[in-house]
Chain A
Amino acid sequence: MARKLLGTLSNLTVRKRVYLAPDAVEIDEIDGYTGTRRRVLLDEVLLVTLDRRRRWLNVFIWIGIGAMFSMPSMIMALSARAPGGASGAAFAVTAIIGAPFILVALAHLLVGTDYVTVFGKRTVAQMAFSLRKGRARSTFALVRERVQQAQERARTAAADGSAQPETGDPLRRLS
């Protein structure tokens, strides 16, 4: 039974991978090396949402990493004993090393993180898309479409009475 990876949601202790299975959204929650699988059945979904937030932790982490790598050249540039030319070169090295990290932090600050959340009757699946607005939108549309289809099927089945027990010889398995 194939399932497609929709997205992930991670924090410092737990990582969640969210998959779209034929009849459900499956959440693999990995805590350490042990995973727990939960399902939000498509025909029981109450709500699918899409929202954008800023993850300040991401911004601070990228700034921190940039500062860590550019710290030696920064100290050298600010050192009083460094001659004029060396100081300028050290500033340039600091800027070159730190710039990519600062740019990523700025991107996180400006673009933010998109979240797609699927609310079921008993549980919820959530995934985060950092700097990938298009992917978040397409995931939201895909889940919404699959839920609509599944619930339409469930309604049709209920209307047709296919949930009723099968007719015919009830003891055919006994022979």
Chain B
Amino acid sequence: MSRVERAYQGAGCPRCFSPIPGSVLQQGRVYCGTCALEFTAAAFEPALPRRAPSVPERTSDAAQCARHAHNAAVAACERCGAFMCGLCRVEVEGKALCAACFDRVRADGSLESTRTTFRSWRTLGLHLAILGAMMTPAGILIGPASLFATVRGISQSRKDGDEGGAAGAVLAILLGLFVTAVGIFFLFTMMRVLDAVPAAKAVRRVR
């Protein structure tokens, strides 16, 4: 956990993160008395959180929620089919799920919008390319691995809809291609040297 999150106590100074009263932040130009930083501030007052949806009580002929017997069902879960009331209904990625199913699909990572961890393929690609540049004889192995990781990183970025920040990927691809080329060159040179050695011995033997 970084220093920023550990110390986070709400709106305040952007350097020391000590809280500053809202009336001071509204002034626009703020001076932090704790760390002596002067900064420009744009303070906002978010709208109050939405009220929980009112749940219609069940009448005698209406279907009941599977978990709340007193509440009328408003929909059926699109995964398990259980009736659910307004409290249980979770709308995610265009589907209406019950709370239990939402927990399950979130846990197994099948809902893209609820995933919070991922593998950074672009970082791996760039690091492999740099490693390959330092160990050029192994470039024939490290170069393609770097290219694979970078291409996978680019497709990951496209999937996320990222715009900008392509310089690292371009650098990784160029470096990966260079490392692969040097690796191939090194391999062929070694093969030629190894081929040449018995021939030289044979020449000496003839003489």
Interface residues of A (CB under 8 A from B): 1-5, 8, 14-15, 17, 19, 28-30, 33-38, 43-51, 53, 115, 117, 119, 121, 123-124, 126, 140, 144, 147-148, 151, 154-155, 158, 163-165, 170-171, 173-174
Contacts and interface: CB of A to CB of B under 8 A. Distances in A.
B161 A2 contact: yes
Contacts of A165: 53-54, 74, 86
A43 B46 CA distance: 6
B42 A3 contact: no
B39 to A, nearest CB: 3
A3 B96 contact: no
Contact of B54 (A5, A147, A158, A164): A164
Nearest to A46: B11
A168 to B, nearest CB: 11
A101 B110 CA distance: 48
Contacts of A158: 47-48, 50
Contacts of B118: 28, 34-35, 37
Contacts of B2: 14, 29
A154 B117 contact: no
Nearest to A43: B46
Given A33-B120, A51-B38, A115 B14 contact: yes
Given A121-B10, A151-B45, A173-B75, 19 more contacts: A3-B161, A4-B163, A5-B164, A19-B162, A29-B2, A34-B118, A34-B119, A37-B118, A49-B30, A49-B39, A53-B15, A126-B14, A147-B42, A158-B50, A165-B53, A170-B56, A171-B75, A174-B76, A174-B83
Ordered nearest first, which 8 A-B pairs have the shortest CB separation? A51-B39, A5-B164, A117-B14, A47-B11, A2-B161, A163-B50, A5-B165, A46-B11
B120 A3 contact: no
B161 A37 contact: no
A51 B5 CA distance: 19
A48 B116 contact: no
A31 to B, nearest CB: 9
Interface string B1-41: 01011001011101101000000010000100000011111
B104 interface: no
Contact of B75 (A19, A30, A155, A170): A170
Contact of B161 (A1, A30, A49, A117): A1
B73 interface: yes
A37 B116 contact: yes
B98 interface: no
A28 B122 CA distance: 13
A34 B124 CA distance: 10
B119 A33 contact: yes
Nearest to B73: A171
A47 B120 contact: no
Contact of A46 (B10, B14, B124): B10
A33 B123 contact: yes
A51 B73 contact: no
A86 B191 CA distance: 44
B193 to A, nearest CB: 32
A151 B41 contact: no
A33 to B, nearest CB: 5
B129 to A, nearest CB: 14
Contact of B47 (A17, A30, A154): A154
